Amino acid sequence: MIIAVDGPAASGKGTIARALARHYHVPHLDTGLLYRAVALTVMRLELDPSIEADAVAACGFDEDLLADAALRDDATGQIASIVSAHPLVRAALLQRQKRFAHQPGGAVLDGRDIGTVIAPDADAKLFIRATPTIRAQRRHAELRARGDDTSYDQVLADIRSRDDRDSSRATAPLVPAIDAAQLDTSFLSIEAAVAKAIALVEARL
Ligand code: C5P
């Protein structure tokens, strides 16, 4: 069983994907972490994220980076959205994600292109939404809890620019798969959003 969970930043897709993985006892992959690891490598090697060859050179990142706290920084997310627009970066990370999705026993993956590119054959596809202001409030609270004092206005501006970049790129843009069930978490508690997600998956199995 493959479950694809896509959506924009801070929509709740990560929380929902982790809860689904626990519920169905299958492994989970946050695919954003792969692009974030490429971004962090680019930053640490002082490469240029807008140059495709520089970003590709960072695709062989050190696996230990996947546990690095700096992956979650807002700045890393911005650079991730720049490197992820390069077709050769997406190609370099494709097989790893496809293998994870198609492992025996199934998997839950969350990202931007799981239902469209990584696992178009997924058994259930969810597209998670929330308004930009609500997503910015969530991300702002999350950053504050980590001691990051980025202002709310900055977080909202970052979310909007990442949305624009992720939705408008030519390769694997952020768009719902035609057969995805859509879930708006704007006015739902985490518990209510997870319960709805499970009900949507059940309806598709
Ligand atoms: O999900 P997260 O916010 O961690 O992703 C960081 C960035 O990585 C996104 O803004 C997006 O540009 C990119 N990404 C992607 N495809 C995915 C997952 C993430 O392009 N499947």
Over range 95-104, report the average pLDDT.
98
112 C-beta closer than 6 A to ligand 1: yes
Q: What is the DSSP letter of 51?
A: S
Neighbours of 37 (CB within 10 A): 25
Contact, 12 vs 127, CB < 8 A? no
Q: Judge if ipTM > 0.90.
A: yes
The rounded distance, in Å, linking the Cα atoms of 141 and 147 is 10
Contact, 9 vs 162, CB < 8 A? yes
The rounded distance, in Å, linking the Cα atoms of 35 and 26 is 22
The rounded distance, in Å, linking the Cα atoms of 67 and 147 is 18
The pTM of the full predicted model, rounded to 2 decimals, is 0.96
Q: Mutation test of ligand 1: which of 35, 135, 174 has the most ligand atoms closer than 8 Å to its C-beta?
A: 35
Residue 194 alpha carbon to ligand 1 centre in Å: 21
Q: What is the pLDDT of residues 17-44, one digit of tens each?
A: 999 999 999 999 999 999 999 999 999 9
